[in-house]
Amino acid sequence: MRASHILLAVAVAAVWGLNFVAIKVGLRDFPPLLFSCLRFALAALPVLVLGWCKGPPVPWRFVIGIGVMLGVVKFPLLYFGIEAGMPAGLASLVLQSQAFFTAIFAAFMLGDRPGPRQIGGMIVAFAGVGLIAMEMPAGDSLLGLGLTLAAAAAWGVSNIVMKRAKAPDLFSLMVWVSLVPPLPVLAMSLALEGPDRILHAFTTLTVVGVASLVYIAVAATLFGFGAWGFLMRHYPASLVAPFSLLVPIFGMSSSALLLGETFTTAKLAGGLLVFAGLALSVLKLPAAARARA
């Protein structure tokens, strides 16, 4: 890879890692469903530039499928999980288990059977999640972990739909996908969070809350997916995908630095197991090592 493209891949990982801090901070101003609704409403604004006449880069059934799984299911679950007590740093790590859920769903839906390394990685990573769960206090924090895992599973389903869509332009796809969640999530917010809580969020809005929303919509969604799509178009997925391992590193370090989150020895050990499982599944062995194996 060119040096500039390596820097771009690292920048995307850093933006996505810091995204979890922005979510934690933004939830102080917005209830989870309203926050998710506004995120996608803001991210959908470039449709005005792309133009309605051109239409999405893939058939509408894929746009709706991805929009529902990402915007109506995954992100509300993640936001509820973080609000319930899931630390932002651990959320950035546990959410990466989407790679394993994607592999499991691909095996059943696409016939892509995971190899021994992928299966071993799953076992190691989920052992780490179990260790983290043992350290989470019963109640809200443990519920937050479960909701984060559910969000990872929803992300895995959306990855399958995205793979079937074969979009030529990931940035354009994400803009059109962002049109799907706002109305149904707003309806959910009105029903579950109530008009009073929504009104209170807008009347007590802070600059930090607005900045968090803009960061998540513009930097994490539009820039992140646009740059990632650019890299995936120019390089093999096996070369780009390992950079996603940097996301939890940036997520955990930024949450410790900016939010003061601390990690017990057991949580760190569980995190290392999850990271090791991800690395085992994502990273490719050198040719010599594969030959020896």
Q: What is the band of 135 on the pLDDT scale with cuts at 50, 70, 90?
A: low
Q: What is the band of 293 on the pLDDT scale with cuts at 50, 70, 90?
A: very low
Query: Mind listing the pLDDT tens digit for each residue in 52-81?
Result: 557 788 899 999 999 999 999 999 999 999
Q: How many domains does the chain have?
A: 1
Residue 55 included in any domain: yes
The predicted pLDDT at position 137 comes to: 60
In this structure, of 30-39, 88-97, 130-139, 165-174, the range with the lowest mean pLDDT score is 130-139
Mean pLDDT for all residues in the chain? 83
Residue 167 included in any domain: yes
Residue 293 included in any domain: no
Residue 292 included in any domain: no
Residue 290 included in any domain: no
Residue 214 included in any domain: yes
Alpha-helix runs per DSSP H in the chain:
3-26, 32-43, 47-50, 60-67, 75-83, 88-94, 98-109, 116-135, 140-165, 170-177, 182-192, 194-203, 207-214, 224-234, 237-240, 246-259, 265-282, 287-292
Q: Which domain holds residue 91?
A: 3-284
Residue 268 included in any domain: yes
The predicted pLDDT at position 18 comes to: 93
Residue 237 included in any domain: yes
